[in-house]
Amino acid sequence: TLCVASGIAAPAMTASLSYFDSYRRARLPANLVQAQRDFFGAHTYERVDKEGVFHCLWDDTHKEIGDIAGRMAGEL
């Protein structure tokens, strides 16, 4: 919009436009949120190219958390 291009604050207009843009998308960009949840809480994430849930070992401290199969089975 002209407000954004001119640097004029229009919080209600930009929030509405952002909501409309996200509402009409087939797939939302939630991959950053999933990555943060996996890093800080080992919540796992889903991929669009493979079936199943995944968890990354981001560094050595994450090895103590275990894998999703172990947590789901109640072993950890």
CA dihedral 20, 32, 69, 41 (to 10 degrees): -110
CA dihedral 46, 50, 52, 53 (to 10 degrees): -30
Write down the pLDDT at residue 76: 42
Write down the pLDDT at residue 70: 56
Mean pLDDT score, 42-53: 80
CATH number, domain of 18, equals: 1.20.5.320
Determine the structural domain holding residue 41 and report its residue range.
2-72
pLDDT digits (tens, 9 = 90+) for 50-71: 888 887 777 776 666 555 555 5
Confidence of residue 75 (pLDDT cuts 50, 70, 90): very low
In total, how many domains does the chain have?
1
